[in-house]
Structure 1
Amino acid sequence: MQPMELPRVDAALLGQWCARHLASPVAAERFRAGRLSLVVGARLADGRQIVVKVRAPEPRVVHCFAVHSALYAAGFPAPEPILPPTPLGRWTATVEALVEGGGQAPTSGRDPRPYAAALASTVRLAAPLAARVDLDPKPSWNRWDHDEPGVWPTAADAFPTATGPEWLERAGRAARERLAACREPYVIGHGEWLPENFRWRGEELYVAYDWDSLILAPEAVLAGFAAAYVAPSAEESAAFLAAYEAVAEREFGPDERAAAWAANLWVRGGKALREVVAGEPVRALEEGEARRLAKLAGA
């Protein structure tokens, strides 16, 4: 897999596209951003405030939009979907309502319960779609089941195939082996719990963004992935998993809990690899912590 090219769409083309597909041209652009996709916030001439997301045309984009739409219809706090994947030059674009406001974290700060409740709600509401959508290939940070050479997959926005120090390679292999051994049913959840993807009001999730990061995975694996972002230590991750079990009203079995720790190790190891490739100090995962997580994963 080659690093992904960030789409380039000039304002004139975007305005024409909106006039054709949304019956209103762009009156003003609010912002442009993007890491793996081009994201443009705009005000249309008819007053609507929208976000256009432009990326490579992949089948998973269609399925992600379908799940996003179903979650919105079920009352989950997601932006209103306006236009499904539609060609824009050689790219594909979707449109959703612009939702602003909210804080970057719940008022309780690092308390894992609001995050666990948001993930559990996603899993519950999206459950009917799990057997009907194809969300592969997963984003690189979740793609432990890749078929590329080496331990780690190519990141779409980074250097091609990279290797880390031997302890990090061992950690990645251990995580992959344990995740491959998990035979629990697959469910749908958000795979990238970065702060910028979520906004909060008090303890309640106000809005969740980046629905291209949906993945199919066992429930415990989704919890382990999420914990690696919002609870970045073994102790905090253990509290997150306990909080998730409480709000989901179910208890993970020994194999599920091991898979959750393997997922946690995979995400944190991937972050550490990016630091290595960038020549930065490795802070996401230390060697001793990697051994500890691998032991918790039973690997």
Structure 2
Amino acid sequence: MNLDELPEWLPAWCRDHLGGAPIEVLFRSQQVSTVVGLRLQSERDVVVKAREDGGRAAACVAVQSRLAERGFPCARPLTPVVEVGPLAVHAEEFRPGGEVLRGDSPGIAVRCAEVFARLMAELAGVKVAPPVPNPPWVRWDEPGPGPWPAIGFLDGLDQSLVSEHIVVAAERARERLLAHDLPCVLGHADFEAQNLRWQGRRVRAVHDWDSLAWQPEAALVGAASGSFASDGPPTLAPIESSEAFLTAYQDFRGRPFTPEEVGIAWAAGVWMAAYNAREMALCGGPPAGGDALREQAAERLRRATGA
């Protein structure tokens, strides 16, 4: 990507908020947010993130800033959130290096669970307004007649592309997730391999703080236990690896889950996997996540309900 391909507002924004215009584009990615790595006139490298905001961005950046101040391995925000038309924009330090930890074995699950337990322990000490609405892939509690939150770009597509087993799994998991009285906490809702960088056995950086959520701890852990191995298109980890993740998380946190929490954890993993499988089916993505859900849903739902 060349400098002349940057959004028109971005060079002036960098001068106003970072003290210099960009002279080189280091990278650009586009998913939920637009993320651009830039080298400024001062030779400082920064990352600028822009996304349409439903009121979540300020809380997410505030949390990221507090964790960085405490020494948690994440990029330090360099600016607060600034509104640019419909976009919420902020800059953070460029934190390159490290490798993606690939694989979905129980051993890798335990390593990831240790990081997630540390992350959740840090977040327990951060007080901010809840970052709601939650990201759609953990928004099972949105009122409505069906199992999915309202998402225009998905809802307008041909729903017949979504296999019945995906819808049934989502419905059963959602029913279980709505039948509890567990308190909500702050947590990372996109804890996937692609959002972590490692140096040896030490995690170097946790990314994607836009994906903070406000859900029960057990539900956030359960979602992570199913998705931790995703590196690109979403996948669903083997049941034995999710079990290893859940067990290790409780050990690292020093608190065993109640039977209710265990059930909610398994249900959350199912619902998130169904959400991802639906999106892949509607958007022409790979079917691996949906195939894994087909194979695992009955056992995961059995664990969710305690049957």
Q: TM-score with structure 2 length normalisation?
A: 0.87
Q: How far has the Cα of 1:257 moved from its partner?
A: 0.3
Alpha-carbon contact 2:130-2:186 (below 8 Å) kept: no
1:246-290 deviation per Cα after TM superposition (whole angstroms, max 9, x unaligned): 111111110000000001101111122123223556321343421
Equivalent residues in 2 for 1:21-40, closer than 5 Å: 21-40=17-36
Q: What does residue 244 of structure 1 align with?
A: 249
Distance 1:169-1:52 versus aligned 2 partners, 3 A rule:
same
Once the two structures are TM-superposed, the CA of residue 86 in structure 1 deviates from its matched residue by 0.4
**SS in structure 2 opposite 1:112?**
helix
2:120 matched to which residue of 1? Answer: 123
Q: In structure 1, how many angstroms separate the alpha carbons of the residues matched to 2:226 and 2:152? A: 20
SS in 2 for 1:95: strand
Indicate which of 199, 207, 211 corresponds to 2:197. Answer: 199
Counterpart-to-counterpart distance in 2, 1:167 and 1:77:
39
For residue 167 of structure 1, report the CA deviation from its aligned partner: 2.6
Residue correspondence of structure 1 range 270-285 to structure 2 within 5 A: 270-279=275-284, 282-284=287-289, 285=292
Distance 1:291 1:17 in 2: 51
1:130-181 C-alpha deviation (Å, 9 max, x unpaired): 5x32211111111111224421224576454746333322211111121112
Deviates more, 1:65-74 or 1:284-293: 284-293
Runs of 4+ in 1 over 6 A off after TM superposition: 106-109
SS at match of 2:24: strand
**Structure number with higher helix proportion:** 2
The answer to whether the 8 A contact 2:54-2:133 is kept is no
Deviation at 1:58, TM superposition (A): 2.7
**1:99 Cα deviation (Å)?**
0.5
Answering whether residue 302 of structure 2 is matched by residue 292 of structure 1, we say no
Structure 1 residue 89, shift from structure 2 partner: 3.6
Aligned to 2:141: 145
Gaps of 5+ in 1: 1-8
For structure 2, the 5+ residue unaligned runs are: 230-236
Q: Which moved more, 1:63-72 or 1:283-292?
A: 283-292
- Residue pairs, 1:94-173, within 5 angstroms: 94-105=90-101, 110-130=107-127, 132-155=128-151, 158=154, 160=156, 162=159, 164-173=162-171
Superposition RMSD on alpha carbons, in Å?
2.3
Instruction: Kindly indicate whether the alpha-carbon contact (under 8 Å) linking 1:188 and 1:217 is maintained by their aligned counterparts in 2.
Output: yes
Q: Is the partner of 1:80 in helix, strand or coil?
A: coil
Aligned length: 290
Could you say what secondary structure the match of 1:177 adopts?
helix
Q: TM-score with structure 1 length normalisation?
A: 0.89
Contact 2:189–2:223 (8 Å) recurs in 1: yes
Q: Residue 64 of structure 1: CA displacement?
A: 0.6
Q: Secondary structure at the match of 1:269?
A: helix
Percent of paired sites with the same residue = 33
Structure 2 CA distance for partners of 1:257 and 1:104, relative to 1, 3 Å: same
Query: Secondary structure of 1:77's partner?
Result: coil
- The answer to whether the 8 A contact 2:50-2:87 is kept is yes
CA separation in 2, counterparts of 1:70 and 1:279?
A: 39
The corresponding residue for 1:6 is none
Residue 77 of structure 1, CA deviation: 0.4
Instruction: Go from structure 1 to structure 2 and tell me whether the alpha carbon gap of 1:276 and 1:252 turns closer, same or farther (over 3 Å shift).
Output: same
Give, as a single letter, the amino acid of the residue that structure 2 aligns with 1:124: A
Instruction: Report if aligned partners of 2:184, 2:215 keep a CA contact under 8 Å in 1.
Output: yes
Q: Post-superposition shift, 1:102?
A: 0.3
Q: Does 1:93 align with 2:89?
A: yes
Separation of aligned partners in 2, 1:128 and 1:187:
11
Matched, 1:189 2:202: no
1:203-243 CA distances to partner (integer Å, 9 max, x unpaired)?
22100111000112221111101011126111110111011
